Amino acid sequence: MTHIHNGADGFAATALDGFCDVHAHLVQRIRGGVMRATATPPGKVAVVIGGGSGHYPAFAGYVGPGLADAAVAGDIFASPSARAVYDVCKRADRGGGVVLMFGNYAGDVLNFNIAAERLRREGIDTRIVAITDDIASAREPARRRGIAGDLPVLKLAAAAAEAGRPLDEVARIARHANDRTRSFGVAFGGCTLPGAEAPLFSVPAGHMALGLGIHGEPGIDEVAILRAGDLATLLVGRLLDDMPAGAGTPVAAVLNGLGGTKQEELFVLWTSVAAGLRNAGLDAIRPEVGEFITSLDMEGCSLSLTWLDDTLEPLWTAPCDSAALTRGTIIPTTPAPKIEDTADQAAAWAPSSAASRAAGQAVAEAMSLLAATLDGAEAELGRIDAHAGDGDHGRGMACGSAAGARAARDAATEGAGAGDVLTAAADAWAHRAGGTSGALWGLGLQSAGRAIGNQDAPSAVGVAQAARTALDAVMRLGGARPGDKTLVDALLPFVETLERESASGAGLARSWHAAVGAATAAAERTADLLPRIGRARPLAARSKGHPDAGAVSLALCARTILKMMEHENV
């Protein structure tokens, strides 16, 4: 849908004005289109491209050093008039003649040819190259339409012109490049003209149109939408089936978005297209993935391949500067060493005492119990969380604790002390759990692990100190205060009780038992609170009467460890 406009009239012309203002270092607005704002030498062949508007960055975005000299712009999806083509070419000519390029559509063919006849009558040698890359539009190559193949054909011809080659040669290269270029596209949805309420056409939901044109021309088939990998296979396959005679490798590849298909989608698709090209033995040099010729907000994409040869390859990689395409060096650099990310390396565990290693085994066992408990409680924690949030707390705790348990077991097996086992578990927990609670659990466990260290067997007082360290870190970085309806509301009484009991000489199990009671009661009391941070206001009110999922899961974890302590008679 096109929402920003001042009515349909003048939309294309105003957009072009805005474009020229923003890119004033590259282009200037002239009657009928745009031309370079930078000087070109006398005698240079002028490469002029054009067509209707609504295809940004085609065609004004292609104007700049190393690319087009000028672009003619018609109204939305309408050929520019012969007069506009004539005016722009007359401005662009530097005495070296003009190569005039456009997609092969009846209106464009007519107007560009009328203009070319007039230019020739006035002594400006003008060569016409109608681009015909869309293999879906006709069986006979000369009758095919032009789509995103415009970009490679223009780039190759313009690089030749920039290098000072004469008119005959630039025109020959343009035609040669067009002969070796093939495109195939698909569409998932239509496009809406500025000011219109409904799209020009539509594609049934869940389907895609094969071979659709960029002005709403009908496709050759409609099929169910494919997954990205299969779509890549289809696009590459169709082009390889229509490969030009004598084509080898390398290729120039352009994966073009039609306007409503986002860059992320194109990059996902490109990973499979690149694999498909590699499998076919094709080396894609400097591929381009993005929007190069759009159809307003149409959802869809096309793949173009130009089979390069020794003449074309250096033209494809030659420098250029334009709004749509840049090639070359702005800031001189040298390549950085390639980083090889290996799998997590065997950690170098800190030296540890036998007592701490034994405690590390117990920590690993405790993490396994937590993971089992949280796996069983996932649905219930999710339900509690859904009263105030997005209901993902149970999932995060289950994923995080499972990853923590695996990391703890590995660390303990490799002989890490209790502190290292806990920090290893912490890292894995935070990384896998995602979300705020995962980050806070990772932070808390890591702080506790560093406090416990790898030398002493953890005493009741030591564990209380570690728990306090964890609480401090969670409050400092998490920003929650008591009463905010977060896990702090359970963790704080837990830590205070643990400190009080252990300071009065109680053993770890007895201190922990008392602390669990305090945490559990406090977690239940969070039902009376209203959340103050990290929640949207309507959700905050809705949570009244329900306890905080973070506080509940903290108490649950503490109870689980207690059972293990009681069982093992710590």
Query: What residues are annotated to the active site?
Result: 215
With residue 63 as reference, give the H or E element that holds it: none
Of the residues 46, 98, 157, 266, which one makes contact with a second copy according to CB under 8 A: 266
What minimum distance in Å lies between the beta carbon of 379 and a second copy? Answer: 20
Regarding beta strands 27-30 and 33-36, do their DSSP bridges make them parallel or antiparallel, or are they unpaired? antiparallel
Of the residues 59, 62, 102, 270, which one makes contact with a second copy according to CB under 8 A: 270
Instruction: Give whichever of 24 and 354 is closer to a second copy, judged by the CB atom.
Output: 24
Neighbours of 79 (CB within 10 A): 23
- Distance between CA 171 and CA 458 in Å, rounded? 82
What minimum distance in Å lies between the beta carbon of 458 and a second copy? Answer: 22
DSSP per-residue letters across 282-326:
--B-S-EEE-SS--TTBEEEEEEEEE--TTHHHHHHS-EE-SS-E
What minimum distance in Å lies between the beta carbon of 520 and a second copy? Answer: 26
Of residues 221 through 260, those in contact with a second copy by CB under 8 A are: 225, 227-229, 231, 259-260
279 binds a second copy (CB under 8 A): no
Neighbours of 492 (CB within 10 A): 22
- The window from 110-118, 356-364, 454-462, 519-527 that contacts a second copy (CB under 8 A) reads 110-118
Of residues 491 through 530, those in contact with a second copy by CB under 8 A are: none
With residue 523 as reference, give the H or E element that holds it: helix 508-525
Of residues 157 through 216, those in contact with a second copy by CB under 8 A are: 162, 188-189, 194, 208
What minimum distance in Å lies between the beta carbon of 496 and a second copy? Answer: 24
Of the residues 8, 40, 163, 242, which one makes contact with a second copy according to CB under 8 A: 40
Neighbours of 168 (CB within 10 A): 12
- The window from 96-104, 148-156, 319-327, 508-516 that contacts a second copy (CB under 8 A) reads 319-327
81: amino acid identity, one letter:
S
Instruction: Give whichever of 5 and 542 is closer to a second copy, judged by the CB atom.
Output: 5
What minimum distance in Å lies between the beta carbon of 432 and a second copy? Answer: 8
- Report angle CA 501, 505, 508 to the nearest 5 degrees: 65
Place of tokens 């506009």: 84
- Distance between CA 304 and CA 131 in Å, rounded? 12
Of the residues 46, 56, 519, 552, which one makes contact with a second copy according to CB under 8 A: 56
From residue 395, alpha-carbon distances to 378, 391, 417, 531 in Å are 6, 8, 29, 21
Q: Is the peptide bond before 41 cis (omega within 30 degrees of 0)?
A: no
What minimum distance in Å lies between the beta carbon of 221 and a second copy? Answer: 15
Nearest CA-CA partner of 475 in 542, 404, 424, 533: 533
Of residues 341 through 400, those in contact with a second copy by CB under 8 A are: 341
- Distance between CA 185 and CA 231 in Å, rounded? 10
Instruction: Give whichever of 339 and 348 is closer to a second copy, judged by the CB atom.
Output: 339
Of the residues 387, 431, 544, 559, which one makes contact with a second copy according to CB under 8 A: 431
The dihedrals phi and psi of 133, each to the nearest 5 degrees, come to -90, -15
Instruction: Give whichever of 244 and 319 is closer to a second copy, judged by the CB atom.
Output: 319
Of the residues 8, 163, 167, 268, which one makes contact with a second copy according to CB under 8 A: 268
184: amino acid identity, one letter:
F
Number of residues that bind a second copy (CB under 8 A): 120
469 binds a second copy (CB under 8 A): no
* Per-residue tokens: 79: 């050929």
* Per-residue tokens: 174: 């343009």
- The window from 42-50, 122-130, 473-481, 554-562 that contacts a second copy (CB under 8 A) reads 473-481
Of the residues 44, 49, 53, 526, which one makes contact with a second copy according to CB under 8 A: 53
Instruction: Give whichever of 147 and 284 is closer to a second copy, judged by the CB atom.
Output: 284
What minimum distance in Å lies between the beta carbon of 113 and a second copy? Answer: 5
Q: Is the peptide bond before 57 cis (omega within 30 degrees of 0)?
A: yes
104 binds a second copy (CB under 8 A): no
* Per-residue tokens: 263: 């860059």
Instruction: Give whichever of 441 and 512 is closer to a second copy, judged by the CB atom.
Output: 441
Of the residues 198, 223, 267, 376, which one makes contact with a second copy according to CB under 8 A: 267
Say if residues 50 and 9 touch (Cβ distance below 8 Å): no
Instruction: Give whichever of 65 and 417 is closer to a second copy, judged by the CB atom.
Output: 65
- Distance between CA 69 and CA 36 in Å, rounded? 6
